[in-house]
């Protein structure tokens, strides 16, 4: 399963890790994102892992049909997962600006 990088978040993570000596950031959403994308676990295999990954890191659009088939997701489920992912990004950027 191809994972979708979040360009806005990826650049923030790289900047934070580079300027913070490699320590994890204090932004809890950024820490959650780093923990989620740096795992060696295949996040598409388990239904709940795939759902959480979609919210935190986001899946590319081409990956959703496979997830729908594998986990029984509907088009509404996919739309909701994408909305939750956008809200995760919005919250992250809101916290980052504080």
- What pLDDT sits at residue 37? 85
Whether the per-residue pLDDT at 62 is higher than 70: the answer is yes
Q: What percentage of the chain reaches a pLDDT higher than 70? A: 72
Q: How far, in Å, CA of 72 to CA of 70, rounded?
A: 6
5-41: pLDDT as tens digits: 444 555 555 444 444 555 566 778 888 888 888 888 9
38 or 71, which is more confident? 71
- What pLDDT sits at residue 21? 55
- What pLDDT sits at residue 3? 45
Q: Which residues of 16-27 are buried (b: 16+ CB within 10 A; e: fewer)?
A: beeeeeeeebeb
- What pLDDT sits at residue 78? 98
- Please report, for the chain, the start and end positions of each structural domain, with discontinuous segments joined by +: 7-96
- What pLDDT sits at residue 23? 59
Residue among 47, 29, 34 nearest 94 (CA): 29
pLDDT mean across residues, the chain: 81
């Amino acid at each position: 399963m191809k994972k979708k990088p979040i360009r806005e978040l990826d650049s923030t993570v790289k900047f934070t890790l580079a300027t913070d000596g490699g320590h994890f950031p204090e932004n809890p959403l950024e820490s959650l994102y780093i923990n989620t994308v740096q795992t060696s676990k295949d996040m598409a295999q388990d239904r709940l892992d795939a759902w959480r990954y979609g919210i935190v890191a986001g899946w590319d659009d081409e990956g959703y049909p496979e997830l729908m088939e594998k986990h029984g997701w509907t088009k509404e489920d996919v739309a909701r997962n994408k909305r939750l992912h956008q809200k995760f990004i919005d919250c992250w950027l809101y916290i980052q600006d504080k």
